[in-house]
C-alpha cells in the first residue's frame, strides 16, 4: 500500500487533523447508535468472494474495491468496536469441490463486549451445526 502512504504524505497537518476529527465524530456517533444493543448483526461482505486477480494492479482501484467489498468491517474497525465474523452459509455457485464458498455475518459489540460476541457466536455455530460442514473433498 505504498500508494496510500505516498498519498498520505501529501496531506497537510490541518487536513490530517480534520480527518481524525471526522473519524472520532463518526466513531462516537456509531457507538452511540449501537449502545442500546448487546450486538449488531451486519453482513461481513457486500459481495460474494471475488475471483483471483479481481483487485487488479492499480493501487487506487484496489483500495476502492476493498472498500466496496467490505464496508461493514471497516466501520467497526474505525470505531474500535469488537467484532466477530461467523460463516453461516455458502454461495449458490458451484465450485470444483462441489460446494459453494462460505459467506458470513458480522456481530459488532459494545466497547469491551468481546465476551458477549464470543458467546453469541458459539451459540450460532452450534445452532447452525457449522462445525459439521466440510468440503466435499474431505469425504471423497
84 has a pLDDT exceeding 70: yes
The model scores a pTM over 0.75: yes
Evaluate whether 79 touches 31 at the Cβ level (below 8 Å).
yes
Q: Which residues pair with 38 in a beta bridge?
A: none
Q: Kindly give the residue spans of alpha helices, DSSP state H, lying in 35-137.
A: 59-69, 71-79, 114-128
| Residue-wise pLDDT tens digits, 17-68 | 999 999 999 999 999 999 999 999 999 999 988 888 888 888 889 889 998 9
Would you call 95 helix, strand, or coil by DSSP? Answer: coil
How far is the C-alpha of 18 from the C-alpha of 110, rounded, in Å?
Answer: 26
98 has a pLDDT exceeding 90: no
> What pLDDT is stored for residue 102 in this prediction?
81
70 has a pLDDT exceeding 80: yes
> What pLDDT is stored for residue 93 in this prediction?
73
How far is the C-alpha of 104 from the C-alpha of 115, rounded, in Å?
Answer: 20
Amino acid at each position: 500500500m505504498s500508494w496510500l502512504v505516498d498519498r498520505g504524505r501529501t496531506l497537510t497537518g490541518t487536513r490530517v487533523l480534520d480527518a481524525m476529527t471526522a473519524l472520532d465524530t463518526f466513531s462516537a456517533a456509531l457507538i452511540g447508535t449501537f449502545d442500546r444493543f448487546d450486538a449488531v448483526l451486519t453482513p461481513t461482505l457486500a459481495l460474494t468472494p471475488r475471483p483471483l486477480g479481481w483487485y487488479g494492479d492499480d493501487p487506487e482501484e484496489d483500495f476502492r474495491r476493498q472498500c466496496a467489498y467490505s464496508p461493514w468491517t471497516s466501520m467497526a474497525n474505525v470505531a474500535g468496536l469488537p467484532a466477530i465474523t461467523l460463516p453461516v452459509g455458502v454461495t449458490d455457485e458451484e465450485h470444483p469441490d462441489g460446494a459453494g464458498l462460505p459467506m458470513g455475518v458480522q456481530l459488532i459489540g459494545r466497547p469491551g463486549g468481546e465476551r458477549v460476541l464470543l458467546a453469541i457466536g458459539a451459540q450460532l455455530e452450534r445452532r447452525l451445526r457449522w462445525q459439521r460442514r466440510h468440503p466435499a473433498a474431505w469425504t471423497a
